[in-house]
């Protein structure tokens, strides 16, 4: 009997030690993965900044008026009202993503699923709105003029990032349903939230450049 109790005690203690060891390793690797992910986002900031500064240079040096003249006619301005509504959709998805992560941390799984699903839905709606705008924008294509080329390049690159984000969040949602994350270890969800806020911030700059300036 005493041998059995001692064996059980050893197993419990050994299991506790394993858990502590795994927790320490997770915390160390989490910090390294977070640093790597932040550096990845910084590289994306450099990418977008290069295109944005190129657009600003072209706008301030190529044409005396903007949008520029094509065949004696000035190109129409973009539909700011429609873009504003689409922007609210994207910014709203940033709010729902924040609450999705917070509800995961607090263990309210039903609310997490609700907010995560809303985030993915709103992201898809933004992409649909962007596709509609592309189909109806009367500014030429990539090769038509400087304004059209800049608009489709920058917003298209951002739209690609949103698409990747939607897929990323869908994978995270599936992983969380499969038990990959718990309420102590959820770096994937943190990375997804950071990425989604990143695409929100980039869109603030693009909205100002193309619709308000």
Task: Phi first, then psi: give them for residue 180, nearest 5 degrees.
Answer: -65, -35
Domain ranges of the chain: 40-212
d(CA 114, CA 128): 21
CB neighbours (10 Å) of residue 201? Answer: 12
pLDDT tops 80 at residue 123: yes
Q: What is the per-residue pLDDT across 44-58, written as a single tens digit (0 to 9) for each?
A: 999 999 999 999 998
pLDDT tops 80 at residue 115: yes
Distances (CA, A) of 145 to 53, 74, 153, 168, 211: 17, 11, 12, 34, 17
Closest CA to 159 of 167, 103, 181: 167
Which residues share a beta bridge with 73? Answer: 70
Q: What is the per-residue pLDDT across 149-208, written as a single tens digit (0 to 9) for each?
A: 999 999 999 999 999 999 999 999 999 999 999 888 899 999 999 999 999 999 999 999
Average pLDDT, the chain: 87
- Mean pLDDT across the stretch 70-77? 81
Distance from chain centroid for Cα 52: 19
pLDDT of residue 6: 41
pLDDT tops 50 at residue 66: yes
Q: How confident is the model at residue 5 (pLDDT cuts 50, 70, 90)?
A: very low
pLDDT tops 80 at residue 10: no
- Mean pLDDT across the stretch 90-112? 96
d(CA 212, CA 204): 11
Are 75 and 97 in contact, with CB atoms under 8 Å apart?
no
pLDDT of residue 14: 47
Token digits of residue 105: 């941390």
d(CA 53, CA 163): 24
High-pLDDT (> 70) share of the chain, %: 85
d(CA 158, CA 17): 46
- Residue 123 CB burial class (10 angstroms; 0-12, 13-18, ≥19): buried
pLDDT of residue 22: 63
Distance from chain centroid for Cα 206: 15
d(CA 11, CA 35): 36
Task: Phi first, then psi: give them for residue 70, nearest 5 degrees.
Answer: -130, 120
Q: Does domain 40-212 have CATH number 3.40.50.1820?
A: no
Which residues share a beta bridge with 84? Answer: none
């Amino acid at each position: 009997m005493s041998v059995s109790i001692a064996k059980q005690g050893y197993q419990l203690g050994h299991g506790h030690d394993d858990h502590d060891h795994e927790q320490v390793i997770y915390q160390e690797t989490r910090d390294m993965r977070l640093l790597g992910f932040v550096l990845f986002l910084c590289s994306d900031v450099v990418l977008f900044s290069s295109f944005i500064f190129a657009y600003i240079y072209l706008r301030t040096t190529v044409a005396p008026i903007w949008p520029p003249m094509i065949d004696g006619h000035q190109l129409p301005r973009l539909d700011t009202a429609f873009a504003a509504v689409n922007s609210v959709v994207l910014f709203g998805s940033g709010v729902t993503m924040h609450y999705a992560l917070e509800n995961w941390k607090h263990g309210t799984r039903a609310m997490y699923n609700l907010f995560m699903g809303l985030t993915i839905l709103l992201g898809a709606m933004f992409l649909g709105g962007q596709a509609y705008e592309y189909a109806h924008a009367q500014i030429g294509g990539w090769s038509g003029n400087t304004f059209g080329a800049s608009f489709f390049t920058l917003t298209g690159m951002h739209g690609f990032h949103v698409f990747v984000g939607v897929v990323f969040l869908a994978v995270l949602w599936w992983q969380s349903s499969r038990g990959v994350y718990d309420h102590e270890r959820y770096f994937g969800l943190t990375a997804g939230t950071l990425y989604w806020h990143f695409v929100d911030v980039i869109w603030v700059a693009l909205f100002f450049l193309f619709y308000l300036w």
